[in-house]
Chains A and B, each alone.
Chain A
Amino acid sequence: MNGRERIPAEHRSVVVVGGGPAGLAAAIAAKEHGCDDVLLVERDHILGGILNQCIHDGFGLHTFKEALSGPEYADRFIRKLRGLHIETAEGTIVLSLSPDRVLEVSTRGALRRIEADAVVLAMGCRERTRGAISIPGRRPSGVYTAGAAQNFMNLENIMVGRNVAILGSGDIGLIMARRMTLEGARVEAVFEILPYSSGLPRNIQQCLNDYNIPLFLNTTVTEILGAGRLEGIKVAQVGSDRAPICDTERFVPCDTLLLSVGLIPENELTREAGVAIDPVTSGAVVDDRFMTSVPGIFSCGNVLHVHDLVDWVSVEAAQAGAFAAEYAGSGRRTAERTISVVPGAGVRYTLPQALSGDQACTLSLRVQEPWRDRSVVVTDNGREVARKRMMRLHPAEMIRLDIAVEALSGCSSLEVSVG
């Protein structure tokens, strides 16, 4: 007993956890689909999430047909949210979520208990750190995740270093290579353990090639050196087993190492609520209404699976928000899941993992390795249901594939593969 049970519970129709791009779109859609009692909870003191520090352009090309910066993209949604008079609680963190949708929420000076008809989880991701990938060596200052460095530079006006090496060719790392170069730092190189970059082609061109920053593939950091401040790193090429090849090891002097080595969906609340997690995405298992294995709990955005473009986060989250409103407004009616969806040859994951079969759906998936001119094929017990031919398939890019409701008729077990 912690005494919290004695705090009287308020009742809300839809509670959205997280005020980044996913939470904003979900809350707006829930309201637009007839739910008048929506509460959005955000732990930062402002809305917008990670978009606030993404000052580069390229957001909104699909949604607004413009290349906006992150803060501008967020502002479009925040204005809409305010116009719809959706209640928000900033500076507020959700401490716990129970399977029957009771949230314990800490806000300045108060603890609240909220019983919700529907909960939309939109907490996003955090970055993998040095500890997560176990780089050996000393522990000097000067080792940052790329997003932390981005926050320091773009929001706090703090320059994190002068001679920079970057491990991982994810988009945030590439963006930071350019940003630090433009602010006068020297970026020695980007090192990527995989045989291909995990960033978008436009970022390779515009963030590295434009500034003659070399990208070394099949290469990783093997040791961190320095007393007090980082003095340099050792890097080595890796074999096909991704283990370092000792005689290729070399020293790279630098005072700053940025890590852009992947994102981890922040699913602590999700797990606590007993929601089933997909081991590949590290996000919830959901159906075609974005409902998790726990009735009334929905998930969307990067906490569900890591997206490449924010535009798709907004599209997906708007659907999740609409279905949450529908669930709350229909006396919590759930759709029967009649069709399973699993990844087949060449596909790393596919989502949603289950379908009702009573509506059209969009499958999101990622491939395991790069291919040219292949098709993504959906089969039901060996019978072809849908096919999308693509010039280019790349693990760094999410693929979306629409399936019409007619095509799902009679299906029971879908497999998605590269053919």
Chain B
Amino acid sequence: MSAREFTCVVCPNGCSIVVEVDDDETPVVAKVRGNVCKRGEEWARQEVENPLRTIASSVSVSGGDFPLASVRTTRPIPLGKIRDVMETIRQVTLAAPVEIGDVVLVSPAGCDTEVIATRGVGSASRDVRRAAKAKGGMKE
């Protein structure tokens, strides 16, 4: 039996929750204390048994007015899968134009989530736009 301490992040109360765990290898929650509400207990159990995280990164964009499009998972993924999902995201190059919400990956590394673009990238190349601006020809 071991105890793990968490600061609950469900609401601003920020309860200090202590979770007593049967076995650290495949953790089984024996007891949760310190939480004020039921949501805190559920969150603490999840944190011990299978913590889930949303992750964000960026992918390269070719032919865009910006070199990168930021992306994120639409649903939280298991903490232990983050590195695999990051590796999958790293392989991606998008072609401009990119719209916010465009689906970049489906089920990366077998996770039940999509990866979507969170920034739009237009088609015009930056150099072209800069040249146009220098001539005063293009309005932003």
Contact = CB atoms under 8 A, between A and B. Distances in A.
Interface residues of B, number: 34
Interface residues on A, range: 35 or more
B79 interface: yes
B56 A91 contact: no
A182 B55 contact: yes
A217 interface: no
Contacts of B136: 108-109
B54 to A, nearest CB: 5
B118 A392 contact: no
Contact of A157 (B36, B55, B67): B67
A86 interface: no
Contacts of A56: 56, 72
Contacts of B54: 57, 67
A394 interface: yes
Contact of B118 (A69, A108, A390): A69
B67 A204 contact: no
B14 interface: yes
B113 interface: no
A394 B14 contact: yes
Contacts, number: 78
Given A55-B57, A69-B56, A75 B140 contact: no
B7 A204 contact: yes
B72 A205 contact: no
Given A69-B70, A182-B55, A91 B100 contact: no
A249 to B, nearest CB: 30
A392 B140 contact: no
Interface in A59-90: 67-69, 71-72, 75, 90
Max count, chain A CB within 10 A of own CB: residue among B83, B100, B133: B100
B56 A57 contact: yes
A311 interface: no
Contacts of B118: 55, 68-69, 71-72
A180 to B, nearest CB: 12
A396 to B, nearest CB: 10
A155 interface: yes
A157 B140 contact: no
A154 interface: yes
B9 interface: yes
B60 interface: yes
A201 B14 CA distance: 7
A241 interface: no
A78 B133 CA distance: 23
A247 interface: no
Nearest to B79: A210
A129 to B, nearest CB: 25
A91 B140 CA distance: 9
A71 B55 contact: no
B7 A205 contact: yes
Contacts of A204: 7
Contact of A391 (B15, B119, B140): B15
Interface of A: 45-46, 52, 55-57, 67-69, 71-72, 75, 90-91, 108-109, 153-157, 182-183, 200-202, 204-206, 210, 390-392, 394, 397
16 contacts: A46-B140, A55-B57, A55-B72, A56-B56, A57-B54, A57-B72, A71-B70, A71-B100, A108-B136, A153-B58, A157-B68, A182-B55, A182-B57, A210-B51, A210-B79, A394-B14
Interface of B: 6-9, 12-15, 36, 51, 53-58, 60, 66-68, 70-72, 79, 82-83, 86, 100, 118-120, 133, 136, 140
